[in-house]
Chain A
Amino acid sequence: MEITLKINGSEKKLSVEPRTLLVHAIRDAGLTGTHIGCDSSSCGVCTVVLDGKTAVKSCTMFAVQAEGHEITTIEGMAQGGQLHPLQQAFHDQHGLQCGYCTPGMIMAAHVLLQHNPNPTEEEIRFGLSGNLCRCTGYQNIVKAVQQAAEMLRQPSSAAADD
Chain B
Amino acid sequence: MAVQTPNLEPKGIQGLGKAIKRKEDARFIVGKGNYLDDINLPGMLYMALVHSPYAHAKILNIDTSEALKIPGVKAVITAKDLAAAGLSWIPTLAGDKQMVLADGKVLYQHQEVAAVYAETRQAAADGAAAVQVEYEPLPVVVDPYKATAPDAPVLREDIKDQMSGAHGPRRHPNHIWTWEVGSKDETEKALAQSEVRIKQHMVYPRSHPAPLEPCGCIGDMNRATGRLTVYMTTQAPHAIRTVLSLVTKIPENNIRVISPDIGGGFGNKVPVYPGYVCAIVGSIVLGAPVKWVETRTENLTTTGFARDFHMDIEIGATKDGRVTAMKVYTLADHGAFDAAADPSKYPAGLFSICTGSYDFQKAYAQVEAVYTNKAPGGVAYRCSFRVTEASYLIERSMDVLAHELKMDPAELRLKNFIQPHQFPYPSALGWTYDSGDYEKTLKVALERIGYHELRKEQAEKRARGELMGIGISTFTEIVGAGPSKDFDILGIKMFDGAEIRVHPTGSAIVRAGTRHQGQGHETTWAQIVSEELGLDVDKIIVEEGDTDTAPYGLGTYASRSTPTAGGAMALAARRIREKAKKIAAHLLEVGENDVEWVDKKFQVKGVPGKSVTMNEVAFAAYTNPPPGLEPGLETTYYYDPPNLTFPHGAYVCVVDIDKGTGEVKVRRFVAIDDCGTIINPMIVEGQVHGGLTEGFAMAFMQEIAFDEQGNHLASNFTDYLLPTALETPKWETGHTVTPSPHHPIGAKGVGESPTVGSPAAFVNAVVDALAHLGVRHIDMPITREKVWRVLRSAGIDAF
Please, which residue of chain B has its CB at the minimum distance from the CB of A155? B2
B175 on interface, CB distance cutoff 8 Å: no
> Contact between B21 and A91 (Cβ–Cβ < 8 Å)?
yes
B213 on interface, CB distance cutoff 8 Å: yes
Known A77-B30, A132-B212: A40·B718 in contact at CB below 8 Å:
yes
Known A97-B690, A124-B725, A139-B689: A34·B31 in contact at CB below 8 Å:
yes
Which chain A positions have C-beta within 8 A of B27? Answer: 99
Please, which residue of chain B has its CB at the minimum distance from the CB of A91? B25
Contact with A along B5-41 (1 / 0, CB 8 A): 1111110000000000110111111111101011000
Contact with B along A26-54 (1 / 0, CB 8 A): 01000111111111101101000000000
Which chain B positions have C-beta within 8 A of A33? Answer: 30-33
> Contact between A100 and B212 (Cβ–Cβ < 8 Å)?
yes
Known A37-B214, A100-B264, A102-B29: A80·B4 in contact at CB below 8 Å:
yes
Interface centre among B31, B264, B266, B293 (most CB of A within 10 A): B31
Which chain A positions have C-beta within 8 A of B682? Answer: 94
> Contact between A162 and B10 (Cβ–Cβ < 8 Å)?
yes
Which chain A positions have C-beta within 8 A of B297? Answer: 39
Which chain A positions have C-beta within 8 A of B33? Answer: 33, 99-100
B792 on interface, CB distance cutoff 8 Å: no
Indicate the size class of the contact surface on chain B.
35 or more
Which chain A positions have C-beta within 8 A of B709? Answer: none
Contact with A along B315-352 (1 / 0, CB 8 A): 00000000000000000000000000000000000000
> Contact between A82 and B4 (Cβ–Cβ < 8 Å)?
yes
Query: Separation in Å of the A161 CB from the closest CB of chain B?
Result: 7
Cβ 8 A contact of A83, one of B30, B212, B691:
B30
B112 on interface, CB distance cutoff 8 Å: no
> Contact between B518 and A98 (Cβ–Cβ < 8 Å)?
yes
A6 on interface, CB distance cutoff 8 Å: no
B520 on interface, CB distance cutoff 8 Å: yes
Which chain B positions have C-beta within 8 A of A129? Answer: 724-726
Dominant SS at the B interface? loop
Which chain A positions have C-beta within 8 A of B718? Answer: 40, 42
B717 on interface, CB distance cutoff 8 Å: yes
> Contact between B717 and A42 (Cβ–Cβ < 8 Å)?
yes
Known A37-B296, A38-B296: A81·B724 in contact at CB below 8 Å:
no
Which chain B positions have C-beta within 8 A of A94? Answer: 21-22, 682-683, 685-686
Cβ 8 A contact of A132, one of B24, B32, B35, B724:
B724
B505 on interface, CB distance cutoff 8 Å: no
> Which residues 50-71 of A sit at the B interface, judged by CB distance below 8 A?
none
Which chain B positions have C-beta within 8 A of A75? Answer: 30-32
> Contact between B264 and A135 (Cβ–Cβ < 8 Å)?
yes
Chain A residues with a Cβ under 8 A of chain B? 17, 19-20, 24, 27, 31-40, 42-43, 45, 73-75, 77-78, 80-83, 87-88, 90-92, 94, 96-103, 106, 124-126, 128-142, 158-159, 161-162
A74-B29, A100-B263, A161-B1 are known; give 6 further A-B pairs, CB within 8 A: A31-B31, A37-B213, A40-B717, A134-B212, A135-B686, A138-B724
Chain B residues with a Cβ under 8 A of chain A? 1-10, 21-22, 24-33, 35, 37-38, 121-122, 210-214, 261-266, 293, 295-297, 517-520, 682-683, 685-687, 689-694, 716-718, 722, 724-726, 728, 730-731
Offer 8 A-B interface pairs, CB within 8 angstroms, sorted by A.
A20-B122, A32-B38, A94-B686, A97-B520, A99-B25, A138-B724, A162-B8, A162-B21
- Among all A-B residue pairs, the 3 with the closest Cβ atoms: A33-B31, A100-B263, A99-B28
